[in-house]
Amino acid sequence: MKTIIFFFILIFASFHLLAENGHKLWLRYKNTGTVNVVCQMNSATLTIAKEELQNGWRGKDGASFALTVKQDKEIKGDGFKISKNGIQANTELGILYGVYEILRRQYTGEAIDEEICNPSYERRILDHWDNLNGTIERGYAGLSIFWRSGKDSLVVTKKDRELWKEYARADASIGINGAVLDNVNASPLILTTGCLNRVKAIAEVLRPYGIKTYLAINFASPSVIGGLKTSDPFDPEVKKWWKDKAKEIYSMIPDFGGFLVKANSEGQPGPQNFGRTHDDGANMIADALKPFGGIVMWRAFVYSPNDKDRARQAYNEFMLLDGKFRDNVIIQVKNGPVDFQPREPFNPLFGAMKKTSVMPELQVTQEYLGQAIHLVFLATMWKEFLQSDTYQEGKGSTVARCTDGSIYPQKYTAIAGVANIGLDTNWCGHPFAQANWYAFGRLAWNNNLTSEKIADEWLKLTFKPTASEDKEMLTALSVEWNLNFLKPVKQMMLNSREAAVNYMMPLGLHHIFAANDHYGPGPWWGPKGVRRDWTPPYYHQADTNGIGFDRTRTGSNALSQYHEPLASLFNDVKTCPEVYLLWFHHLPWDYKMKSERTLWDALCYHYEAGLQKVREFQKVWDKVERYVDPERFALVQSKLRQQCVNAQLWKDACLLYFQQFSRKPIPYDIERPVHDLKDIIKNDMERLRRRD
Amino acid sequence: MKTIIFFFILIFASFHLLAENGHKLWLRYKNTGTVNVVCQMNSATLTIAKEELQNGWRGKDGASFALTVKQDKEIKGDGFKISKNGIQANTELGILYGVYEILRRQYTGEAIDEEICNPSYERRILDHWDNLNGTIERGYAGLSIFWRSGKDSLVVTKKDRELWKEYARADASIGINGAVLDNVNASPLILTTGCLNRVKAIAEVLRPYGIKTYLAINFASPSVIGGLKTSDPFDPEVKKWWKDKAKEIYSMIPDFGGFLVKANSEGQPGPQNFGRTHDDGANMIADALKPFGGIVMWRAFVYSPNDKDRARQAYNEFMLLDGKFRDNVIIQVKNGPVDFQPREPFNPLFGAMKKTSVMPELQVTQEYLGQAIHLVFLATMWKEFLQSDTYQEGKGSTVARCTDGSIYPQKYTAIAGVANIGLDTNWCGHPFAQANWYAFGRLAWNNNLTSEKIADEWLKLTFKPTASEDKEMLTALSVEWNLNFLKPVKQMMLNSREAAVNYMMPLGLHHIFAANDHYGPGPWWGPKGVRRDWTPPYYHQADTNGIGFDRTRTGSNALSQYHEPLASLFNDVKTCPEVYLLWFHHLPWDYKMKSERTLWDALCYHYEAGLQKVREFQKVWDKVERYVDPERFALVQSKLRQQCVNAQLWKDACLLYFQQFSRKPIPYDIERPVHDLKDIIKNDMERLRRRD
């Protein structure tokens, strides 16, 4: 009988899908009953916590639930303890985080037992590469939510505040507690009073949600906007200018987080312009912030045009400075040694700088991973990075443990993600790009979470129908949804990054993207007069003898920057993981892979696998049409189509380009290219000309 | 031992491929010995015959070979009798044809036993849709070989004569004996003396190769260039004008073939402009040509904008006139009732006009079949047409037998093909488009040849390496070549037309191509103010109820024009061949096909099969790279890539467009579309705007 009823429900129930445009993100909470929140204290943050609980409650109708701010040494920072009956935390923000945890579990079906949840990193920051004119560097989801152009650009409107509040709520719901509001390629104007007033307004909206504001600053600010003759960090006037500026900022924004600095990198000014070193510059600014509790995040993304291996340079430059930085300086290091490529080994600075605080910088915006067009779930890439073993303090010295305070007693622990957020209705351009924002927050909170759990949570929160008021109906539908939607779509997400690696840059290839826009393939690009280390041929080194960048001991020896046994492991072509093969080795086209295939054939099969995977993703998505509201369904479907076209272009372009050197046929069981190389290159050149 | 030697040869032999650009067509003859040609007579044609034999001879070195012009009633017209020792024919042209037959057999390896070869049709004509300014209507291989623009456009150069001679040789080698030198949408200027002088020069070059010249004329010529007040065929002045013009032409070109007339069709003038009928017009011109032995080819391609079914009209209009035409008028009828679509049932006029000479008009140029980009071998389509049984004189009354004189005692038998020839180095744009020129000639000569035999001949003549002077080596390579090149490539050719039908217009769909250029898909196109019967929706009739043009007894009843049992067979959806299903029936989307699939699903699988077939063709071609000279290999490879892209566009466009009506998913095991319908339509509209 029960079975019959069940089928009856399945047949007659339908997924009454509400129109959704993705603006609600993973916060589609809608209560099914009431909750009696017991809380002795009152504050802006606690008010939010109570409201969220009441508006989203899916627990027992009429239940009583206590929010208790009380010190507990088991609970760290803004961590919290949850149970069926309530939340306990050291801070009000901890309570708020606990509320989001309770709601998440109610909606995902995860059990709510007594459990303490502590954050992995103290500072969990989104870096917005937003320009003061409203554009976003490497932004693919519209204009900035913080800045805009025009004569009223600095006027703060009600609409601004509403949007910032929505943004803050989304951040808080996943534990993000900091936001750098402007581009690392920073305008000096950010520190003018007009801009600071706007920052103050933003900070006020963000504050109840526990989000500190930070600013990326231009090292030459004292001379450019301060009217000083120099920005030399040893100049007393300059020091004073920064101290005064800090004082001004903190008078406006008492909980201001600090500065992010890109110095002496890709044309940005820095201490080296004045004959000083990175520590000279960082410490001078740190000293100015110190009295107010501010920090300096100083980027290690530096490389001069003349070094024979760009991948070596951050390490070369910064290792010399280990121990020379103030304790409120954190060196911010990109996950890989080059630049947010689809796959890189970890940057050897992680774990190696033992006397300096180091924080990872991840890129949430998919600059090199298909931007807002490709469906690429980045959690797997970040987990691969965080779990990489540096061996710096013996086996198990993962990047995660080297940066979260488990191994080194950093004064501050932090992690940053370059945001993928803009004015697009759905915030991120691609509905699935929201998952990367979500994943960054979740991993910053807990770097032990699995990609699978994060995808599972996000899908349930973001796509699971919540409309039915009938609990039995909802349960029946849930079984079907889990099987037919959750399972295949989650698997697609988990496979998506490897697919992108395959159709873009497999086997350790890197930096072979199209110039400027970084979207399509461009392994051929290398005009005269351009910095060699900005051109793909510098990285792939393809010729008739073979392909790959020789970073072995007989090559650039970049692998010597890794702790043993990694250096030796990478050095030996037989033990070097094939995913990094061409990152570390230049190998002949007929090099025999573990699969017994030649390198050339293996390369072909990787590109092919990538393309076919996207075709598979299209099938996965089309099959779940009935479980998704029409607007999001159509948008994802359309983007997957574009992704497929682009994957085919990547495959064709790279294989046909490299085939000029390998002079071998593409294995005949592989789907044939549909482009001619000369047309691809011609179109690429035209694209570049149009841009000039 | 023999085996060892054989393998030795295979390993060390290589295909020394000469650079080839395709200009030599299937005429890559190069002798390997001498022949002693015995011939009592002498003439321009016989000189060519002797030279061809000597230059191409691959028979026994030093053999003696006799060419004998001698009447034999077993031999018809320009037919011939071949044997190992020589050729006998009624005419010199028959000798030349016999020579090409001998050479063909020597190069293809076909046995040369005593055999009489007679032509199926007396007139085997190429219609060149060449405009006097040098452009070609529906020409995809460059400009005209006969006409050009500019002030010296009518000057005949040495280069002109050389090219015309090459053209004439190619035609003669496959039995073509007539050429209409100008577009059916004819300029009246073609009959001016300047143009006629050029025609005379062309005729002189073509004559030794047995090719008669014909002209397409404009029915309004008397008034437009003759200065008369009318072109009314009943007007004595008009009649006189045509008689005088005929006289003038025959004084210049004594063997002139006659006129081709497109009258009262798509805006061209005709007798109906003067209240006369087609027979009035055709007969008047026929009378003018009669004294000189000229014929009139009068096209039945007529349709008025107001009829409810365009497919009915040629029949409706011309059946009334059966028996009213002079015996030197031939009604030229396109193979299908609409317009050279990828698949149409035969035009019901074939076999139905019992008292009138009727000739088929085929289209060699691939207007609706991928033009010079798609590899589509048309022999299979033409064979399907020629073998269609009209039942007009009982079972076995095929179109072939109804038109070649087997059934009806026509005074003249003829067949025309719209040429695909231009100034491109390889004549036809696509190397494989040459096969359609070849196939048309061969089928015009012998409508019993199989597509397979024609493809086999053409491939051997066109691609088989002939370089080696070492006979043993050549034999060894030949075995390999037959296995690895001939077999798969021939199969590709034989499958190619069905593939095109599948990815363009399967299951009887027709006329759903893009407006104007007729290359891509355009099922949506139907702006206001355009003749309904020029728009795809008129033909596919898709709506939420179903798809297809109802031509059954309860519909337009076009099928009543077919002789029983065809009319009943087509009328019953259960017996109607599925290849013509939507030509004759409007059916619901969930109509159950013989495969048990719904109509919608079947449609999807057909489109998918077409696309996948092209992907397969790419593999076939890439695999034969070592057997083909680089230039032709690369050109075909590139064109197959474009074909694949276009096949994907066709599939996506049609399925996504029709899906709007079917409202059903594309079966999930099918490769997903990679385009969005709105983008496809937008691009199509932009293309049309650019053209305006």
Tens digits of per-residue pLDDT, A126-153?
Answer: 999 999 999 999 999 999 999 999 999 9
- Answer yes or no: is pLDDT of A692 > 90: no
B233 falls within a domain: yes
* B475 Cα to chain A: minimum distance (Å): 27
A3 against A400, higher pLDDT: A400
CA A138 to chain centre: 12
Nearest by CB to B675, which of A641, A671, A673? A641
- Answer yes or no: is pLDDT of B145 > 50: yes
DSSP labels for B524-578?
T---TTS-GGGSHHHHH--BTTEES---STTTT-GGGGSPTTHHHHHHSTTTS-G
Q: Tell which of A622, A672, A677, A679 to mutate to test the B interface (max B CBs under 10 Å).
A: A672
Q: What is the pLDDT of residue A12?
A: 46
Tens digits of per-residue pLDDT, A469-481?
Answer: 567 777 778 889 9
| A361 has catalytic annotation | no
Kindly report the average pLDDT of chain A as a whole number.
95
| Closest chain A residue to the Cα of B666, Cα to Cα | A622
- Range B398-403 average pLDDT: 98
User: Do the Cβ atoms of A672 and B645 come within 8 Å?
Assistant: no
Q: Position of tokens 């002496």?
A: A264
**b/e sequence B396-406, b meaning 16+ C-beta within 10 Å:** ebbbbbbbbbb
- Residue B225: CB atoms within 10 A of its CB come to 17
Q: What is the pLDDT of residue A11?
A: 44
CA angle A351, A354, A357 (to 5 degrees): 90
- Who's near A528: CB < 8 A, 6+ residues apart? none
Nearest by CB to A623, which of B638, B668, B673? B668
Q: Position of tokens 């760009």?
A: A310
**b/e sequence A599-612, b meaning 16+ C-beta within 10 Å:** bbbbbbbbbbbbbb
Instruction: Return the percentage of chain A with pLDDT > 90, whole number.
Output: 93
Domain count, chain B: 3
Nearest by CB to B619, which of A644, A648, A672? A672
| Closest chain B residue to the Cα of A670, Cα to Cα | B619
Instruction: Return the percentage of chain A with pLDDT > 70, whole number.
Output: 97
Do A150 and A86 share a structural domain? no
Do B168 and B103 share a structural domain? no
**Strand partners of residue B392:** B394
Do A541 and A670 share a structural domain? yes
First vs last C-alpha separation in chain A:
72
- Range A622-642 average pLDDT: 96
- Residue B275: CB atoms within 10 A of its CB come to 9
Give dist(CA A401, CA A331) in Å, integer: 16
Tens digits of per-residue pLDDT, A22-31?
Answer: 999 999 999 9
Q: Which of A9-18, A271-280, B466-475 has the highest mean pLDDT?
A: A271-280
- Who's near A339: CB < 8 A, 6+ residues apart? A301, A368, A511
- Answer yes or no: is pLDDT of B7 > 60: no
B486 falls within a domain: no
- Range B577-591 average pLDDT: 98
- Range A179-194 average pLDDT: 97
Kindly report the average pLDDT of chain B as a whole number.
95
A19 falls within a domain: no
A578 falls within a domain: no
Report chain B residues touching chain A, CB-CB < 8 A. Answer: 615, 618-619, 622-623, 625, 638, 640-642, 644-645, 648, 665-666, 668-669, 671-676
Do A363 and A276 share a structural domain? yes
Report the complex ipTM.
0.93
- Answer yes or no: is pLDDT of A9 > 70: no
Alpha-helical (H) ranges within B174-273 are: 193-206, 221-224, 236-252
A660 falls within a domain: yes
- Range A505-516 average pLDDT: 97
Q: Pick from A118, A136, A157: which residue ends a domain?
A: A118
Confidence of residue B691 (pLDDT cuts 50, 70, 90): confident
Identity of the amino acid at A137:
E
Do A200 and A307 share a structural domain? yes
- Range B183-195 average pLDDT: 97
Q: Rounding to the nearest 10 degrees, give the CA dihedral for residues B46, B48, B50, B51.
A: 160
Tens digits of per-residue pLDDT, A489-502?
Answer: 999 999 999 999 99
Do A160 and A104 share a structural domain? no
Q: Are A147 and A153 in contact (CB under 8 A)?
A: yes
CA B86 to chain centre: 32
Q: Which of A273-277, B44-48, B85-89, B301-305 has the lowest mean pLDDT?
A: B301-305
3-state secondary structure (DSSP) of residue B281: helix
| B266 has catalytic annotation | yes
Q: What is the pLDDT of residue B467?
A: 64
- Residue A240: CB atoms within 10 A of its CB come to 14
For position B270, which CATH number holds?
3.20.20.80
- Exposed/middle/buried for residue A395 (C-beta within 10 Å: 0-12, 13-18, 19+): exposed
- Range B471-483 average pLDDT: 83
Confidence of residue B478 (pLDDT cuts 50, 70, 90): confident
**Strand partners of residue B80:** B89, B117
Do B206 and B111 share a structural domain? no
- Who's near A74: CB < 8 A, 6+ residues apart? A81, A116
The two three-digit tokens of residue A675, written as one number: 């482009």
Identity of the amino acid at A601:
D
Q: What is the pLDDT of residue B311?
A: 95
A229 falls within a domain: yes
Q: Pick from B118, B146, B181: which residue ends a domain?
A: B118
Q: What is the pLDDT of residue B470?
A: 66
DSSP labels for A148-188?
--STTTTPPPHHHHHHHHHHHHHHHHTT--EEE-S-SS--G
| B631 has catalytic annotation | no
For position B623, which CATH number holds?
3.90.1330.10
- CA atoms B577, B580, B586, B588: torsion sign: positive
Q: Which residues of A touch B672 (CB under 8 A)?
A: 615, 618-619, 622, 640-641, 644
Q: Which strands, in side-by-side order, build the sheet including B86-89?
A: B35-39, B63-69, B86-89, B80-83, B115-117
Q: Tell which of B638, B646, B674, B679 to mutate to test the A interface (max A CBs under 10 Å).
A: B674
Instruction: Return the percentage of chain B with pLDDT > 90, whole number.
Output: 93
Q: What is the pLDDT of residue B15?
A: 65
Q: Are A45 and A78 in contact (CB under 8 A)?
A: no
- Who's near A682: CB < 8 A, 6+ residues apart? none
Report chain A residues touching chain B, CB-CB < 8 A. Answer: 615, 618-619, 622-623, 625, 638, 640-642, 644-645, 648, 665-666, 668-669, 671-676
Give dist(CA A588, CA A590) in Å, integer: 5
A16 falls within a domain: no
Do B530 and B409 share a structural domain? no
| Closest chain B residue to the Cα of A625, Cα to Cα | B665
Helix or strand (DSSP H, E) at B46: helix B44-56
Residue B211: which of B365, B43, B93 has the closest Cα? Answer: B93
- Answer yes or no: is pLDDT of B307 > 90: no
Q: Are A67 and A49 in contact (CB under 8 A)?
A: yes
User: Do the Cβ atoms of A674 and B623 come within 8 Å?
Assistant: no
Q: What is the pLDDT of residue A304?
A: 81
- Exposed/middle/buried for residue B394 (C-beta within 10 Å: 0-12, 13-18, 19+): exposed
Confidence of residue B12 (pLDDT cuts 50, 70, 90): very low
Distances (CA, A) of B96 to B43, B209, B211, B439: 11, 8, 12, 19
- Answer yes or no: is pLDDT of B6 > 70: no
Instruction: Return the percentage of chain B with pLDDT > 70, whole number.
Output: 97
For position B53, which CATH number holds?
3.30.379.10
Nearest by CB to A671, which of B615, B640, B666? B615
- Answer yes or no: is pLDDT of B396 > 60: yes
Do B197 and B73 share a structural domain? no
* Active-site residue, from B339, B344, B361, B456: B339
Q: Which residues of A touch B624 (CB under 8 A)?
A: none
Distances (CA, A) of A226 to A193, A218, A222, A231, A237: 12, 12, 4, 9, 10
- Range B525-549 average pLDDT: 96
- Answer yes or no: is pLDDT of B10 > 50: no
Give dist(CA B444, CA B171) in Å, integer: 11
Give dist(CA A601, CA A668) in Å, integer: 10
Do A263 and A166 share a structural domain? yes
Give dist(CA B453, CA B377) in Å, integer: 13
A89 falls within a domain: yes
Give dist(CA A136, CA A145) in Å, integer: 10
User: Do the Cβ atoms of A671 and B640 come within 8 Å?
Assistant: no
Give dist(CA A318, CA A344) in Å, integer: 19
Do A245 and A113 share a structural domain? no
Q: What is the pLDDT of residue A2?
A: 47
Q: B42: domain range?
A: 31-118
Do B505 and B412 share a structural domain? no
Give dist(CA A484, CA A678) in Å, integer: 43
Q: Pick from A407, A441, A463: which residue ends a domain?
A: A463
- Range A489-517 average pLDDT: 97
- Who's near A420: CB < 8 A, 6+ residues apart? A139, A140, A141, A364, A365, A366, A372, A428, A429, A433, A436, A437
DSSP labels for A550-588?
--STTTT-GGGGSPTTHHHHHHSTTTS-GGGHHHH--EE
Identity of the amino acid at B371:
Q
Quote helix, strand, coil % in chain A, to nearest 5.
45, 10, 45
